[in-house]
Amino acid sequence: MWALIAGAGGLPAALVDAAPERPLICALEGMGPDTLDVDVTFRLEQLGSLLADLKVRGVTEVCFAGAISRPKIDPVLIDAATMPLVPVIQKALTSGDDGALRAVISVFEHSGFTMRGAHEIAPNLLLSDGCPTVAQPDAEAQKDAERGAAIVAAMAAVDVGQACAVHRQQALAIETILGTDWMLTSLATRTDGSGGILYKAPKPGQDHRADLPTIGPATVQAAAQAGLEGIVIQAGGVIVLDQANVLSECNRLGLFLWVREAAI
C-alpha cells in the first residue's frame, strides 16, 4: 500500500488517476489538494505520529506531490512522537526547497518507508525529447536554452529555483520561492518588448523523488502573456500535466515546446 502526501495543483489528481490502486491520501492541515478527498490530515508538529499511523495502516511506500507552503510551527503542539524529529524539521524549514525536501525524505526513509517519485508512479507524465509543436525553436532560441540551462545550474548552488526566462542569452527573470507563475506574471509589463524562452529543469543533483518541476496549460498561457516565444524543458526531468491541452495551447498561441535532452 502506498500513501500520497498531497499538496495543491493538478499533479496529485493526475497521479491518483494513473496509479493502479488508490493511495491513502494525506495532506498538511490547510494545504490539501484541490480536487481529491483527503483521508488523513496532519500538522507538521505531529509528523512522528503520522509516521506511526502510516505503519499501522500498512503503508510501505510514500510519494510527495503538489505544492505546499512552509507552515509555521507551534511549539506547544509538538507531540512526544515528533520531539526527536524537531532538529530535522527546523533545518528543513530554514533550507532551500531541495534541502528541505531531502531532509523530509530522510525522515520517512529512516522510518522504513520507500520513497517514490511521481514520475515513477506515472511515467507517462514525462514527454519524450523533441519538439511536438508546430512552432520550432530557431538558432537564437537554442542559444537561449543553453544559457537557461547554465542559469538553472548556477541557481542550484544556492538552492533557489528551477526556472528562468532568457532572451538573447540574457536573464529576464529567475524563479524564486514565489514560483514560476509569479515570475511569468512579473514579465507581463516587460520593457524590452517580446521574445525569449521559459526554461525549466530540475536542479543538477536534485533528488527526483520530490519536487520535479511541472508545467501545464496555464504555464503556456502565462508564457504567451509574458511575450515569450516558447518553452524549453529538460527531457526526463519535467512533468507535463494535461499534455493534449498543453500542445493545443502552444499551437493556438504560436509557442513552441521543446523537450531538450540534458547536456552530458
Give 150's contacts (C-beta < 8 A, 6+ positions apart). Answer: none
CATH of 126-260, one of 3.40.50.2000, 1.10.287.110, 3.40.47.10, 3.40.140.80: 3.40.140.80
Q: Please report the pLDDT score of residue 115 as a whole number.
A: 93
CB of 118 closer than 8 Å to CB of 212: yes
Q: What is the mean pLDDT of each run of 10 residues along the chain (264 residues)?
A: 92 91 93 91 92 96 87 86 85 66 84 93 93 97 96 88 95 92 93 94 79 92 97 95 97 98 74
Amino acid 88: pLDDT:
82
* Segments making up each domain of the chain, as ranges: 2-121, 126-260
Alpha helix (H) ranges present in the chain?
11-18, 47-56, 86-93, 97-110, 118-121, 139-156, 180-186, 217-225, 243-253
Question: Given phi > 0 = left and psi -120 to 50 = alpha, else beta, which region is 66?
Answer: left
Rounded Cα distance between 202 and 87, Å, is 27
Q: In what order do the strands lie in the sheet with 114-115?
A: 40-42, 24-28, 2-6, 61-65, 114-115
Q: Given 3.30.70.100, 3.40.50.20, 3.10.20.30, 3.40.50.1100, which CATH number is that of 2-121? A: 3.40.50.20
For residue 35, give Cα distances in angstroms to 3, 43, 188, 206, 246.
Answer: 17, 20, 29, 28, 20
Supply the pLDDT for residue 54: 97
Residue 86: the pLDDT is 84
Residue 88's CB is within 10 A of a number of other CB atoms, namely 15
pLDDT at residue 87 in the model: 84
